[in-house]
Amino acid sequence: MTLPASVKDDFPLLEQSVHGTPIVYLDSANTSQKPQAVIDAMTAYYEHDNANVHRGSYDLAVRATAALEGARAKVAGFINAPSVSEVVFTKNATEAMNLVARSWGGTNLGAGDAVVISEMEHHANIVPWHMLAEEKGFELRWIPVDGTGRLDLTDLDRLLDGAKLLSVTAMSNVLGTLTPVRQLADAAHAAGALVAVDASQYVPHVPTDVQALDADFLIFTGHKMLGPMGIGVLWGRAELLDAMPPFLGGGEMILQVTKEGFTTNELPWKFEAGTPMVAEAVGLGAAVDYIGTIGGMEAVRRHEVEL
């Protein structure tokens, strides 16, 4: 059963006309429009709760902190993360992938190693690995795309031989192709490699379960799934995140600073240096709530398949 046409009424931007014609928006692969519920949640935060988080015991600070951490819990539930502490907020998916490249890759990759990506990747899952490969000297290997727009997995075992990481999109932003993430994860793990998944296009279209996908890292952005721009998500297995050095230094990511050094904060704040994007997190949490009101991602997926 498809979603009712009245869902369109939830998006105020779609009420306008362009050149005398009611607007039809077909660029959601680039960014999605925002339902009124998301706009209202962010406005309410700024009107009633705005304060810095984790830094004060007065009412506004307590409410702002609860809003941020409540949004994190909603996101964790949305992707079936085993622990809320495994959900790291970033400014976008690109920053999240760079975090993995720099913090995990910078520690674990070197000459003689290999990272496997595919020919259908977004630049955010290509350029960070090129940059790191130039610095560290590891090999970047490519899964080709066949004539039907799907990954050609004929030589997958050879490509994974000796690799330390497979970093692959779950859904192409250009082709719309769904990649067999679990099949790829099984093959990568059998070869001794970790798996990072760029799910920026996948999360808005398919129910996402990080445990069922058996990924080690999963990355997505808020603005493609009805949330605001300016917030992304990195989910990672706790044992991997614990072992990774911080990506950025500053306030919030530390427990103690002395003249001799510093100690890092616990997860997830270890990777969230500086003032966080609280209103954006609230908006992302509201997007999760809104999706629930229209039947959840299962209903969204059924609607798209039936179309």
Half-sphere exposure of 104 (CA within 13 A, CB side): 27
Q: How confident is the model at residue 174 (pLDDT cuts 50, 70, 90)?
A: confident
Residue 261 phi, psi dihedral angles, 5° rounding: 165, -155
> What's the mean per-residue pLDDT of the chain?
97
> Beta-carbon neighbour count of residue 77 at 10 Å?
13
Instruction: Look up the pTM and report it.
Output: 0.96
Q: Tell me: the pLDDT tens digits for 136-145?
A: 999 999 999 9
Q: Tell me: the pLDDT tens digits for 256-307?
A: 999 999 999 999 999 999 999 999 999 999 999 999 999 999 999 999 999 8
Select from 3.30.1490.190, 3.40.50.720, 1.10.287.70, 3.40.640.10 the CATH code of 41-306: 3.40.640.10
So where are the chain's domains?
Answer: 5-37, 41-306
C-alpha span between 290 and 282 (Å, rounded): 12
**What number is the average pLDDT over the span 184-212?**
98
C-alpha span between 228 and 37 (Å, rounded): 12
**What number is the average pLDDT over the span 217-227?**
99
Closest CA to 50 of 67, 36, 31, 35: 67
